[in-house]
């Protein structure tokens, strides 16, 4: 290895190079950084818990809903929560997790059979975690009440409230850790074909793929917030990586939505009042996540999106989001 490379401590120890598995990351304006497999895992786990710890937004014993789409980033987030709640965890996470999957197959024009196969694959992944999970079709967004947008504000947190909550948790039953309880499964309900057609007409009313993707993102967030409130969750974890957030930032500026950047790319989004969206994966690049999932066998399920057909057909009218992602 070149002397100009920065290494983790284990990579600098004496020993045959072939006994070590190295991972290299190329960072902008810096030298490559080498990790040994074990150090990389420690680094990855520590960064996730440090992100949650320094923000102190999730209180002990609080119910948190993990929004898992089946992609690498959200599945990696799910894996980190599993790791943090395991018996071998050094510093255990103290919240109560649940999982939600929003089935967007109707928006992407998938057949009923294709959607069913995807749901079955994800159900197997969710069951293995032991967490309760919900599976919700995107078509339910058409029946949401208007109260989703006029929600009560979040209660004001006094100074020292987090420390007081931790002390209370430890004095009660927190010494033995948090248990998610018996796993509860809410299967995907039957979707009427008329509702799927209505959703497709709504998305089709947007004249460009950029507008359709933006509309889909808004509908998804509204359904997540409504599902969290209905199930008693006060926080929703999203799996947005820093790569995805960089695309969102450039896209928002291009679309004239600069005023929303703090909410769209920050750690927390409190626009929905009593339900707060958090992004614990915002410090991970897509490359880091891909390496981690590959090296430690984190399962994920491919789900087609609105732009899948466009990419396959090589349409020249791709969305702004797709251009930013491919030219960043």
Give the pLDDT confidence score for residue 160 in this predicted structure.
62
For residues 65 and 42, membership in a common domain is answered with no
Tens of each residue's pLDDT in the chain, 328 residues:
444 445 665 555 555 544 455 555 545 445 566 678 888 899 999 999 999 988 889 999 899 999 999 999 999 999 999 999 987 777 789 899 999 999 999 998 999 999 999 999 999 999 999 999 999 999 999 998 877 776 566 555 555 665 565 555 556 655 444 555 678 888 888 899 999 999 999 999 988 888 899 899 999 999 999 999 999 999 999 999 999 999 989 988 888 888 888 888 999 999 888 899 999 999 999 999 999 999 999 999 988 777 665 555 444 455 555 555 555 5
Distance, CA of 164 to chain centre = 28
Reference 77, options 251, 258, 273, 281; nearest CA is 281
14 and 156 inside one domain:
no
* Residue 143: domain span: 58-327
- Please give the Cα distance from 167 to 132 (Å, whole number): 27
Rounded to an integer, what distance in angstroms lies between the CA atom of residue 248 and that of residue 241? 10
Pairing of strands 33-36, 6-7: parallel
Q: Check whether residue 323 and residue 231 sit in a common domain.
A: yes
- Token pair recorded at residue 174: 């927190």
- Both 230 and 305 in one domain: the answer is yes
- Residue 77 and residue 13 share a domain: no
Strand partners, 63: 96
Q: What angle do CA 199, 200, 203 make, to 5 degrees?
A: 90
pLDDT value for 18: 42
pLDDT confidence of residue 71 = 95
**In angstroms, how far is CA 75 from the centroid of its own chain?**
7
Find, among 10, 66, 67, 70, the residue nearest to 34 by Cα: 10
Whether residues 34 and 92 share a domain: the answer is: no
Instruction: Write down which residue in 55, 82, 101 finishes a domain.
Output: 55
CA angle 81, 84, 87 (to 5 degrees): 130
Q: Verify that 48 and 164 share a domain, yes or no.
A: no
End-to-end Cα distance, the chain: 29
Q: For the chain, how many structural domains are there in total?
A: 2
pTM of this prediction?
0.83
């Amino acid at each position: 290895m070149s002397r100009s490379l920065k290494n983790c401590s284990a990579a600098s120890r004496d020993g045959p190079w072939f006994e070590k598995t190295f991972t290299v990351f190329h960072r902008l304006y810096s030298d490559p950084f080498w990790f040994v497999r074990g150090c990389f895992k420690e680094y990855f786990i520590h960064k996730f818990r440090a992100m949650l710890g320094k923000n102190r937004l999730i209180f002990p014993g609080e119910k948190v809903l993990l929004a898992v789409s089946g992609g690498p980033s959200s599945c990696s987030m799910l894996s980190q929560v599993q790791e943090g709640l395991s018996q071998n965890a050094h510093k255990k996470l103290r919240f109560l997790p649940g999982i939600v999957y929003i089935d967007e197959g109707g928006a992407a024009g998938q057949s009923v059979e294709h959607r069913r196969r995807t749901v079955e694959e994800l159900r197997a992944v969710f069951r293995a975690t032991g967490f309760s999970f919900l599976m919700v079709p995107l078509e339910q967004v058409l029946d949401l009440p208007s109260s989703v947008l006029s929600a009560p504000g979040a209660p004001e947190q006094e100074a020292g409230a987090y420390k007081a909550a931790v002390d209370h948790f430890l004095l009660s039953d927190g010494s033995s850790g948090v248990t998610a309880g018996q796993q509860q499964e809410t299967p995907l309900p039957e979707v009427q074909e008329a509702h799927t057609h209505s959703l497709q007409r709504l998305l089709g009313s947007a004249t460009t793929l950029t507008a359709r993707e933006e509309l889909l993102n808004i509908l998804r967030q509204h359904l997540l917030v409504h599902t969290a409130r209905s199930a008693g969750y006060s926080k929703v974890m999203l799996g947005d990586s820093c790569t995805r957030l960089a695309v969102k930032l450039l896209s928002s500026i291009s679309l004239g939505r600069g005023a929303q950047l703090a909410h769209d790319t920050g750690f927390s989004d409190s626009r929905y009042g009593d339900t707060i969206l958090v992004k614990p994966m915002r410090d991970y690049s897509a490359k880091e996540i891909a390496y981690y999932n590959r090296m430690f066998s984190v399962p994920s399920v491919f789900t087609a999106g609105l732009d899948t057909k466009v990419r396959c057909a090589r349409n020249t009218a791709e969305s702004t989001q797709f251009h930013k992602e491919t030219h960043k």
